[in-house]
Amino acid sequence: MKKRCIKCGDVKFIDEFHIHESSKDGLAPLCKKCTKEYNKEYWAKNKDKFKERGKEYRAKNKDKLKEYRAKNKDKFKEYRAKNKDKLKEYRAKNKDKFKEHRAKNKDKFKEYKKEGTVKLSNVYVKGMLRTSGIKKHQITPELIELKKQQILLYREIKNIKGDIKNGTT
Ligand SMILES: [Zn+2]
């Protein structure tokens, strides 16, 4: 059985068409190739809109996503453990791509890191703990909180010292 694609006009075998349950013949009006192209174009045209919407969604549902991640933490962990080799392979395969991405977004990463330092993001605090010789599995949320307090205190002291040196106190 064959069917004509309404976009390219080619008559093709029906396995060249996606299944569309709601249509009369149960097949998509566009062949698979045209559908792919159409989707690509559609995405390119609306990329910014989609991205903006994704951003909005994430901002709006920040707490929900956080909760979701917290709830599924073990699942993620399990997934990572199960697919360790696969992930490793993936990283090795895409090493140059990652490098390029980092080089391209250097300023963004720098800015991000700076922000993390100022705001004491968990990633930053974890990094501080790791550099002071604490093992990854020893790091708990309580420890991160404690370290944060310590850093804040340290910064406060530094500020006071700076003020004294500058003669403003
Ligand atoms: Zn077609």
| Residue 68 in this model has a pLDDT that exceeds 80 | yes
Considering the domain boundaries, does residue 140 fall inside one? yes
pLDDT for 15: 94
- Beta carbons within 10 angstroms of residue 155's beta carbon: 12
* Cα 114 to Cα 107: distance, rounded to the nearest angstrom: 10
Considering the domain boundaries, does residue 153 fall inside one? yes
pLDDT for 6: 95
Considering the domain boundaries, does residue 51 fall inside one? no
pLDDT for 169: 54
CA–centroid distance, residue 51 to ligand 1 (Å): 28
Question: Residue 153 belongs to what domain range?
Answer: 119-169
Considering the domain boundaries, does residue 157 fall inside one? yes
CA–centroid distance, residue 50 to ligand 1 (Å): 26
pLDDT for 119: 86
pLDDT tens string 135-147 = 888 898 889 989 9
pLDDT for 9: 97
pLDDT tens string 105-135 = 898 888 888 888 888 888 889 998 998 888 8
Considering the domain boundaries, does residue 59 fall inside one? no
CA–centroid distance, residue 26 to ligand 1 (Å): 16
| Residue 4 in this model has a pLDDT that exceeds 70 | yes
| Residue 163 in this model has a pLDDT that exceeds 80 | no
CA–centroid distance, residue 108 to ligand 1 (Å): 41
pLDDT tens string 87-111 = 889 889 888 988 898 899 898 888 8
pLDDT band at 36 (very low <50, low <70, confident <90, very high): very high
- Beta carbons within 10 angstroms of residue 52's beta carbon: 11
Average pLDDT over residues 7-36: 94
- Scanning 27-134, the segments in alpha helix (DSSP H) are 32-60, 62-71, 73-82, 84-93, 95-104, 106-119, 122-131
Considering the domain boundaries, does residue 92 fall inside one? no
Considering the domain boundaries, does residue 129 fall inside one? yes
Domain count, the chain: 1
CA–centroid distance, residue 35 to ligand 1 (Å): 7
Assess contact for 34 and 8: CB atoms under 8 A. yes
